[in-house]
Amino acid sequence: MKDRLALALILDAERSGALKPGQTVVEATSGNTGVALAMVCAARGYPFVATMAESFSIERRKLMRAYGAKVILTPAAERGTGMVRRAQELAEKHGWFLARQFDSPANPSWHRNTTAAEIIGDFAGRRLDHFVSGWGTGGTLTGVGEVLKLARPDVKITAAEPQVAALLQGEEWHPHKIQGWTPDFVPSVLNREVTDDILKIDDLLARNTALRLAREEGIFVGVSAGATAAAALRVAESAAKGSVILCMLPDTGERYLSTFLFEDVIDGSDDEWLAAQ
Protein backbone atom coordinates (compact mmCIF):
# COMPACT_ATOMS: atom_id res chain seq x y z
CA MET A 1 0.00 0.00 0.00
CA LYS A 2 2.62 2.54 1.05
CA ASP A 3 5.02 1.53 -1.72
CA ARG A 4 2.51 3.07 -4.13
CA LEU A 5 2.31 6.25 -2.06
CA ALA A 6 6.08 6.60 -1.79
CA LEU A 7 6.60 6.14 -5.52
CA ALA A 8 3.84 8.65 -6.25
CA LEU A 9 5.37 11.30 -3.99
CA ILE A 10 8.85 10.94 -5.45
CA LEU A 11 7.82 10.75 -9.12
CA ASP A 12 5.48 13.73 -8.71
CA ALA A 13 8.25 15.77 -7.08
CA GLU A 14 10.69 14.82 -9.84
CA ARG A 15 8.25 15.86 -12.56
CA SER A 16 7.50 19.19 -10.91
CA GLY A 17 11.16 19.94 -10.25
CA ALA A 18 10.56 20.25 -6.50
CA LEU A 19 13.00 17.40 -5.89
CA LYS A 20 16.50 17.94 -7.24
CA PRO A 21 18.97 15.16 -8.15
CA GLY A 22 20.67 13.87 -5.02
CA GLN A 23 18.59 16.04 -2.67
CA THR A 24 17.76 14.60 0.74
CA VAL A 25 14.13 13.61 1.25
CA VAL A 26 12.60 13.95 4.73
CA GLU A 27 9.19 12.79 5.92
CA ALA A 28 7.21 12.20 9.09
CA THR A 29 5.99 8.62 9.28
CA SER A 30 4.56 6.01 11.59
CA GLY A 31 6.86 3.65 9.75
CA ASN A 32 5.27 2.07 6.70
CA THR A 33 5.50 5.12 4.46
CA GLY A 34 9.02 5.62 5.79
CA VAL A 35 10.06 2.10 4.82
CA ALA A 36 8.56 2.60 1.37
CA LEU A 37 10.25 5.99 0.92
CA ALA A 38 13.57 4.54 2.10
CA MET A 39 13.28 1.86 -0.58
CA VAL A 40 12.26 4.23 -3.38
CA CYS A 41 14.91 6.80 -2.41
CA ALA A 42 17.61 4.12 -2.34
CA ALA A 43 16.61 2.98 -5.82
CA ARG A 44 16.48 6.51 -7.24
CA GLY A 45 19.55 7.97 -5.54
CA TYR A 46 18.18 10.20 -2.78
CA PRO A 47 19.29 10.18 0.86
CA PHE A 48 16.25 9.74 3.13
CA VAL A 49 15.57 10.91 6.68
CA ALA A 50 12.48 9.80 8.61
CA THR A 51 11.04 11.49 11.68
CA MET A 52 9.03 9.04 13.72
CA ALA A 53 7.45 9.00 17.17
CA GLU A 54 9.40 6.76 19.52
CA SER A 55 6.27 4.71 20.25
CA PHE A 56 6.27 3.03 16.84
CA SER A 57 7.77 -0.40 16.27
CA ILE A 58 11.52 -1.07 16.29
CA GLU A 59 11.20 -3.28 13.20
CA ARG A 60 10.26 -0.25 11.11
CA ARG A 61 13.29 1.69 12.27
CA LYS A 62 15.59 -1.19 11.35
CA LEU A 63 13.95 -1.69 7.97
CA MET A 64 14.47 1.96 7.08
CA ARG A 65 18.08 1.85 8.23
CA ALA A 66 18.62 -1.31 6.18
CA TYR A 67 17.80 0.80 3.12
CA GLY A 68 20.36 3.38 4.24
CA ALA A 69 17.92 5.85 5.78
CA LYS A 70 18.37 7.88 8.95
CA VAL A 71 15.67 7.82 11.62
CA ILE A 72 15.09 10.75 13.99
CA LEU A 73 12.81 9.80 16.90
CA THR A 74 10.40 12.28 18.43
CA PRO A 75 8.78 12.07 21.90
CA ALA A 76 5.69 9.86 22.04
CA ALA A 77 3.89 12.58 23.99
CA GLU A 78 4.13 14.89 20.97
CA ARG A 79 2.12 12.40 18.88
CA GLY A 80 1.89 12.58 15.10
CA THR A 81 1.86 16.36 15.18
CA GLY A 82 5.30 16.34 16.79
CA MET A 83 6.94 14.18 14.17
CA VAL A 84 5.37 16.26 11.37
CA ARG A 85 6.66 19.47 12.96
CA ARG A 86 10.16 17.98 13.32
CA ALA A 87 10.24 17.00 9.65
CA GLN A 88 9.20 20.50 8.66
CA GLU A 89 11.91 22.01 10.84
CA LEU A 90 14.60 19.77 9.35
CA ALA A 91 13.47 20.52 5.80
CA GLU A 92 13.62 24.26 6.41
CA LYS A 93 16.96 24.13 8.21
CA HIS A 94 18.82 21.91 5.75
CA GLY A 95 17.03 22.59 2.46
CA TRP A 96 15.71 19.05 2.27
CA PHE A 97 12.67 18.02 0.24
CA LEU A 98 9.63 17.43 2.49
CA ALA A 99 7.47 14.66 1.02
CA ARG A 100 4.20 15.76 2.76
CA GLN A 101 2.27 12.50 2.49
CA PHE A 102 -0.63 13.98 4.49
CA ASP A 103 -1.03 16.96 2.15
CA SER A 104 0.21 15.97 -1.31
CA PRO A 105 -2.51 15.56 -3.97
CA ALA A 106 -0.25 12.89 -5.50
CA ASN A 107 -1.24 10.59 -2.63
CA PRO A 108 -4.95 10.06 -3.43
CA SER A 109 -4.30 10.62 -7.14
CA TRP A 110 -2.03 7.57 -7.31
CA HIS A 111 -4.69 5.45 -5.62
CA ARG A 112 -7.31 6.68 -8.07
CA ASN A 113 -5.11 5.61 -10.97
CA THR A 114 -3.77 2.34 -9.57
CA THR A 115 -5.56 0.85 -6.55
CA ALA A 116 -9.03 2.00 -7.60
CA ALA A 117 -8.44 1.11 -11.25
CA GLU A 118 -7.36 -2.40 -10.25
CA ILE A 119 -10.46 -2.85 -8.09
CA ILE A 120 -12.72 -1.74 -10.93
CA GLY A 121 -10.93 -4.14 -13.27
CA ASP A 122 -10.98 -7.06 -10.87
CA PHE A 123 -14.70 -6.65 -10.23
CA ALA A 124 -15.76 -5.97 -13.82
CA GLY A 125 -18.98 -7.87 -14.35
CA ARG A 126 -18.90 -9.09 -10.76
CA ARG A 127 -20.82 -8.14 -7.67
CA LEU A 128 -19.26 -5.69 -5.17
CA ASP A 129 -21.40 -4.32 -2.35
CA HIS A 130 -19.03 -2.91 0.27
CA PHE A 131 -15.55 -1.38 0.46
CA VAL A 132 -13.99 -1.12 3.92
CA SER A 133 -10.79 0.73 4.82
CA GLY A 134 -9.10 2.37 7.76
CA TRP A 135 -7.35 5.69 7.32
CA GLY A 136 -3.91 7.04 8.10
CA THR A 137 -3.01 9.62 5.49
CA GLY A 138 -6.46 9.27 3.95
CA GLY A 139 -5.02 8.58 0.50
CA THR A 140 -6.42 5.09 -0.02
CA LEU A 141 -9.86 5.88 1.40
CA THR A 142 -10.09 9.06 -0.68
CA GLY A 143 -8.64 7.77 -3.95
CA VAL A 144 -10.54 4.50 -4.00
CA GLY A 145 -13.68 6.01 -2.52
CA GLU A 146 -13.94 8.79 -5.08
CA VAL A 147 -13.58 6.40 -8.01
CA LEU A 148 -16.07 3.90 -6.62
CA LYS A 149 -18.60 6.69 -6.08
CA LEU A 150 -18.42 7.39 -9.81
CA ALA A 151 -17.92 3.93 -11.28
CA ARG A 152 -19.88 1.80 -8.82
CA PRO A 153 -22.23 4.19 -6.95
CA ASP A 154 -24.13 1.32 -5.33
CA VAL A 155 -21.03 0.24 -3.38
CA LYS A 156 -21.26 1.29 0.25
CA ILE A 157 -18.00 2.72 1.60
CA THR A 158 -17.18 2.20 5.26
CA ALA A 159 -14.29 3.92 7.02
CA ALA A 160 -12.87 2.49 10.24
CA GLU A 161 -10.97 4.29 12.98
CA PRO A 162 -9.76 3.55 16.52
CA GLN A 163 -12.33 3.33 19.29
CA VAL A 164 -10.50 5.97 21.31
CA ALA A 165 -9.54 8.26 18.41
CA ALA A 166 -12.69 8.62 16.33
CA LEU A 167 -11.76 11.96 14.74
CA LEU A 168 -14.05 11.55 11.74
CA GLN A 169 -16.93 11.22 14.18
CA GLY A 170 -16.02 14.44 15.94
CA GLU A 171 -14.46 12.87 19.00
CA GLU A 172 -11.15 13.68 20.68
CA TRP A 173 -7.94 11.82 19.89
CA HIS A 174 -6.45 9.55 22.54
CA PRO A 175 -3.41 7.24 22.21
CA HIS A 176 -4.18 3.92 20.54
CA LYS A 177 -2.24 0.84 19.46
CA ILE A 178 -3.37 0.55 15.86
CA GLN A 179 -0.12 1.73 14.31
CA GLY A 180 -0.56 3.41 10.95
CA TRP A 181 -4.15 4.43 11.66
CA THR A 182 -5.40 7.88 12.61
CA PRO A 183 -2.75 10.39 13.68
CA ASP A 184 -3.88 13.16 16.03
CA PHE A 185 -5.13 15.25 13.11
CA VAL A 186 -7.23 14.76 9.99
CA PRO A 187 -4.98 14.98 6.90
CA SER A 188 -5.88 17.58 4.29
CA VAL A 189 -6.01 14.97 1.50
CA LEU A 190 -8.77 12.99 3.22
CA ASN A 191 -12.18 13.48 1.60
CA ARG A 192 -14.77 12.89 4.31
CA GLU A 193 -17.59 12.93 1.76
CA VAL A 194 -16.74 9.51 0.30
CA THR A 195 -17.81 7.54 3.38
CA ASP A 196 -21.29 6.14 3.91
CA ASP A 197 -20.55 4.81 7.38
CA ILE A 198 -17.79 5.00 9.99
CA LEU A 199 -17.02 2.25 12.52
CA LYS A 200 -14.98 2.32 15.71
CA ILE A 201 -12.59 -0.57 16.31
CA ASP A 202 -11.04 -1.46 19.67
CA ASP A 203 -7.29 -2.11 19.94
CA LEU A 204 -7.72 -5.63 21.32
CA LEU A 205 -10.26 -6.58 18.67
CA ALA A 206 -7.80 -5.35 16.03
CA ARG A 207 -5.01 -7.46 17.52
CA ASN A 208 -7.14 -10.57 17.93
CA THR A 209 -8.48 -10.32 14.39
CA ALA A 210 -4.94 -10.00 12.99
CA LEU A 211 -3.96 -13.17 14.86
CA ARG A 212 -7.09 -14.94 13.60
CA LEU A 213 -6.21 -14.04 10.03
CA ALA A 214 -2.83 -15.72 10.47
CA ARG A 215 -4.10 -18.81 12.28
CA GLU A 216 -7.35 -19.39 10.41
CA GLU A 217 -6.62 -18.02 6.93
CA GLY A 218 -2.83 -18.09 6.59
CA ILE A 219 -2.77 -14.31 6.07
CA PHE A 220 -0.01 -12.71 8.18
CA VAL A 221 -0.76 -9.01 8.56
CA GLY A 222 -0.27 -6.11 10.96
CA VAL A 223 -2.62 -4.69 13.54
CA SER A 224 -4.14 -2.07 11.23
CA ALA A 225 -5.07 -4.82 8.80
CA GLY A 226 -6.62 -6.74 11.68
CA ALA A 227 -8.64 -3.65 12.55
CA THR A 228 -9.86 -3.29 8.98
CA ALA A 229 -10.81 -6.95 8.79
CA ALA A 230 -12.66 -6.59 12.09
CA ALA A 231 -14.61 -3.69 10.60
CA ALA A 232 -15.41 -5.78 7.52
CA LEU A 233 -16.68 -8.61 9.71
CA ARG A 234 -18.91 -6.11 11.49
CA VAL A 235 -20.24 -4.90 8.14
CA ALA A 236 -20.94 -8.53 7.23
CA GLU A 237 -23.13 -8.97 10.31
CA SER A 238 -25.79 -6.64 8.90
CA ALA A 239 -25.10 -6.96 5.16
CA ALA A 240 -27.59 -8.65 2.88
CA LYS A 241 -27.08 -12.36 2.29
CA GLY A 242 -24.57 -13.00 -0.47
CA SER A 243 -22.99 -9.54 -0.21
CA VAL A 244 -19.43 -9.13 -1.46
CA ILE A 245 -17.20 -7.14 0.89
CA LEU A 246 -13.74 -5.88 -0.04
CA CYS A 247 -11.36 -4.67 2.66
CA MET A 248 -7.79 -3.40 2.45
CA LEU A 249 -5.02 -5.17 4.40
CA PRO A 250 -2.12 -2.71 4.14
CA ASP A 251 0.99 -4.45 5.47
CA THR A 252 2.68 -7.55 6.89
CA GLY A 253 2.91 -8.88 10.41
CA GLU A 254 6.72 -8.94 10.51
CA ARG A 255 6.71 -5.21 11.19
CA TYR A 256 4.97 -5.76 14.53
CA LEU A 257 6.94 -8.56 16.21
CA SER A 258 8.02 -6.28 19.08
CA THR A 259 4.55 -4.82 19.66
CA PHE A 260 1.51 -5.89 21.66
CA LEU A 261 0.35 -7.88 18.63
CA PHE A 262 2.73 -10.65 19.69
CA GLU A 263 3.07 -10.05 23.42
CA ASP A 264 1.39 -13.38 24.20
CA VAL A 265 3.33 -15.36 21.59
CA ILE A 266 6.25 -17.22 23.18
CA ASP A 267 9.72 -17.23 21.65
CA GLY A 268 11.07 -20.27 23.50
CA SER A 269 10.46 -24.00 23.11
CA ASP A 270 6.95 -25.49 23.22
CA ASP A 271 7.97 -28.12 25.77
CA GLU A 272 4.77 -27.85 27.82
CA TRP A 273 2.65 -28.44 24.76
CA LEU A 274 4.80 -31.41 23.75
CA ALA A 275 4.56 -32.98 27.22
CA ALA A 276 0.78 -32.84 27.00
CA GLN A 277 0.63 -34.81 23.76
Active site residues: 2, 224
Task: Evaluate whether 146 touches 115 at the Cβ level (below 8 Å).
Answer: no
- The contacts of residue 101 (CB under 8 Å, 6+ apart) are 5, 9, 27, 28, 29, 33, 107, 137, 139
Q: Are strands 70-74 and 48-53 parallel, antiparallel or unpaired?
A: parallel
Return d(Cα 216, Cα 8) in angstroms, integer: 34
Strand order in the sheet with 197-201: 197-201, 156-162, 130-134, 245-247
Task: Evaluate whether 189 touches 102 at the Cβ level (below 8 Å).
Answer: yes
The greatest distance separating any two alpha carbons of the chain, rounded to the nearest whole angstrom, comes to: 65
Burial track 198-216 (b if 16+ CB lie within 10 A, e otherwise): bbbbbbebbbebbbebeee
Quick one: which H or E segment has residue 3? helix 2-16
Q: What angle do CA 60, 65, 70 make, to 5 degrees?
A: 105
DSSP string, 205-269: HHHHHHHHHHHHH---B-HHHHHHHHHHHHHHHHSPTT--EEE---SBGGGGTTSGGGTTS--S-
Task: Evaluate whether 114 touches 140 at the Cβ level (below 8 Å).
Answer: no
For the purposes of burial, counting CB atoms within 10 Å of the CB of 155, is it exposed (0-12), middle (13-18) or buried (19 or more)?
buried
